[in-house]
């Protein structure tokens, strides 16, 4: 019987292991983490992450062949396959600050594996890491491991997206496994392939060398983010010319070579992966002496920052160039719908931009708590290349300028403007007339996700801005300068 242990009970490790346990009842799966509250959460009725369908999967397997524990050493020692799914944030100081991946957690996990292992292990990179990390991990294990214990390192990057994690895991477009091209390496690849083959069709399991697998993950995220920056760049041109970005994206996406998905213009992409992975790609290119390639990918992030800035400028310029003391309702704070995750959410930059102009912001998100909002807005962003760097607010300023509302109507009451920053389904069917009646006039809606029916809202009386859509006369008269 194969035993699996996963180090890191986060957004990736938790759902991935739950689905492996569901599909492989004869494999014992243990997820370990150094964070006691995280593990307690996984063992409770209220899981530490919100992910549609996950409760059900965990309920079916927990106590059967899936468990969560803080006894990291024991479970790593017992396992045949050790997945490593720890966080790899962007370095905030020192060499490569603002770009390179911080491998502190990875290195300490690798040293711990070397310390406690008494039997051979397959060590699987699950979290996204810079290309050639496997080589560094191999060295740590070889130099620190016990005599006679052999390790094989595999790269098995995860492609799930938050909000659809369970669906993505149950029916992935592909599973990618990279390993050494030696007999031992091939055997390790085959062992991991056997795990996935219990539910993933064979032609969807791709095997490559280690470096291809590591680079494919960074490249895939860079390509996805690039599509969003491409459509967002076109959205600015649409507003300038009177074209409609939804019509343009639809027409472009009909070309089978391009395809229709991931072409929704927005206030900007967020999430824990896109920016981090592209910055990492940029850093790697620079390290390998490829400045042109680095510059190409850096532009994807620049356009994303430009898009967020452009949105804030549009809000401020439309409202007579000042939002000082005006209440602005912010609907949606998560980086996308169906998740409570706020890592790198565009809402942080937009809110900070509005607060920098002295607005009073009232935020509503169905899955994000007030404490999370306060933490995010108080956080000092690392100062890489930002068009304008804002100092975080003090606690007193925060209390004066930021409120968290129980619903969209409360957020909009007595507001001058509503900004929609996450595409939650419930924002499509709000009673906008009711909101309009409770707002100051002129009442503005700035839709950063193209969720509202622009014509209907204009009929109600709103001044409406929707990313990449033909502008109201009002907005044409108040041009936003970036």
Residues serving a catalytic function are 273
CB 148 within 8 A of CB 126: no
Which residue's CB atom is positioned nearest to ligand ADP?
10
Q: CB under 6 A: which stretch of 10-18, 167-175, 283-291, 446-454 binds ligand ADP?
A: 10-18
- Which residue, chain included where needed, has tokens 């898009």? 307
What are the distances in angstroms from CA 247 to CA 119, 238, 467?
59, 10, 12
368 lies in the site for ligand UDX, by CB under 6 A = no
CB 123 within 8 A of CB 114: no
Question: Would you say 151 is a known binding-site residue?
Answer: no
Which residue lies nearer to ligand UDX by CB, 7 or 160? 160
33 lies in the site for ligand ADP, by CB under 6 A = yes
> Rounded to an integer, what distance in angstroms lies between the CA atom of residue 446 and that of residue 457?
11
Which residue lies nearer to ligand ADP by CB, 127 or 235? 127
- For 197-208, give one letter per residue: b (16+ CB within 10 A) or e: eebbeeeebebb
Question: Would you say 126 is a known binding-site residue?
Answer: no
What are the distances in angstroms from CA 155 to CA 2, 80, 131, 158, 189?
19, 16, 10, 10, 9
User: Considering CB distances under 5 to 8 angstroms, the limit depending on partner class, which of ligand ADP, ligand UDX, none binds residue 155?
Assistant: none
Strands of the sheet with 28-32, listed across from one edge: 66-69, 28-32, 3-7, 81-84, 121-125, 151-155, 175-179, 205-209
Residue 36 three-state SS: helix
Torsion of CA 307, 95, 115, 141, to 10 degrees: 90
6 lies in the site for ligand ADP, by CB under 6 A = no
Instruction: Tell me, by CB under 6 A, how many residues bind ligand ADP.
Output: 21
User: Considering CB distances under 5 to 8 angstroms, the limit depending on partner class, which of ligand UDX, ligand ADP, none binds residue 382?
Assistant: none
228 lies in the site for ligand UDX, by CB under 6 A = yes
53 lies in the site for ligand UDX, by CB under 6 A = no
39 lies in the site for ligand UDX, by CB under 6 A = no
Q: Measuring CA to CA, which residue among 429, 403, 435, 400 is closest to residue 417?
A: 435
Which residue lies nearer to ligand ADP by CB, 310 or 336? 336
Which residues lie below 8 Å from residue 111, measured CB to CB, with a gap of 6+?
Answer: 140, 144
Q: How far is the CB of 20 from ligand UDX (least distance, A)?
A: 16
Binding site for ligand UDX (CB under 6 A): 158-162, 221, 224, 228, 262-264, 266, 269-271, 273-274, 335-336
Output the known binding site for NAD(+).
8-13, 33, 38, 86-90, 127-128, 162, 273-276, 343
Binding site for ligand ADP (CB under 6 A): 7-13, 32-35, 38, 72, 85-87, 105, 108-109, 127, 272
């Amino acid at each position: 019987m194969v035993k699996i242990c996963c180090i890191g009970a986060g957004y990736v490790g938790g759902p991935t292991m739950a689905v492996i346990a569901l599909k492989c009842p004869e494999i014992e799966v243990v997820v370990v983490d150094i964070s006691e509250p995280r593990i307690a959460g996984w063992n409770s009725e209220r899981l530490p992450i919100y992910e549609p369908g996950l409760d059900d999967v965990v309920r079916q397997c927990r106590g059967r062949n899936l468990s969560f524990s803080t006894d990291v050493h024991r479970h790593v020692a017992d396992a045949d396959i050790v997945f490593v799914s720890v966080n790899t944030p962007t370095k905030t100081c020192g060499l490569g600050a603002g770009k390179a991946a911080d491998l502190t957690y990875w290195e300490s996990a690798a040293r711990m594996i070397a310390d406690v292992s008494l039997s051979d292990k397959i060590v699987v990179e699950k979290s996204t890491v810079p290309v050639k990390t496997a080589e560094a991990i191999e060295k740590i294990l070889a130099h620190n491991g016990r005599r006679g214990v052999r390790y094989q390192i595999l790269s098995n990057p995860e492609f799930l997206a938050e909000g659809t994690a369970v669906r993505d895991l149950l029916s992935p477009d592909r599973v990618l496994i990279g390993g050494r091209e030696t007999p031992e390496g091939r055997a390790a690849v085959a062992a991991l392939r056997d795990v996935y083959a219990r539910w993933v069709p064979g032609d969807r399991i791709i095997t490559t060398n280690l470096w291809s697998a590591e680079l494919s993950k960074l490249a895939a995220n860079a390509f996805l983010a690039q599509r969003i920056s491409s459509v967002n760049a076109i959205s600015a041109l649409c507003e300038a010319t009177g074209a409609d970005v939804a019509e343009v994206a639809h027409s472009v996406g009909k070309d089978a070579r391009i395809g229709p998905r991931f072409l929704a213009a927005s206030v900007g992409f967020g999430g824990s992966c896109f920016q981090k992975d592209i910055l990492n790609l940029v850093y790697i290119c620079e390290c390998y002496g490829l400045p042109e390639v680095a510059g190409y990918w850096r532009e994807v992030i620049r356009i994303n920052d430009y898009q967020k800035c452009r949105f804030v400028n549009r809000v401020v310029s439309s409202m007579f160039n000042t939002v000082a003391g005006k209440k602005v309702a912010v609907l949606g704070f998560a980086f996308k719908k169906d998740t409570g995750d706020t890592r790198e959410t565009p809402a942080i930059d937009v809110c900070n931009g509005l607060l920098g102009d002295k607005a009073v912001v009232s935020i509503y998100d169905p899955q994000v708590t007030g404490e999370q909002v306060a933490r995010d807005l108080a956080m000092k962003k690392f100062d890489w290349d930002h068009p304008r760097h804002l100092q975080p607010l003090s606690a007193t300023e925060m209390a004066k300028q930021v409120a968290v509302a129980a619903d969209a109507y409360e957020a909009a009451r007595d507001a001058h403007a509503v900004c929609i920053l996450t595409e939650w389904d419930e924002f499509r069917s709000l009673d906008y007339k009711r909101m309009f009646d409770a707002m100051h006039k002129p009442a503005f809606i700035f839709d950063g996700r193209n969720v509202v029916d622009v014509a209907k809202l204009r009929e109600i009386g709103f001044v409406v801005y929707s990313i990449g859509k033909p502008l109201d006369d009002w907005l044409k008269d108040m041009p936003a300068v970036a």
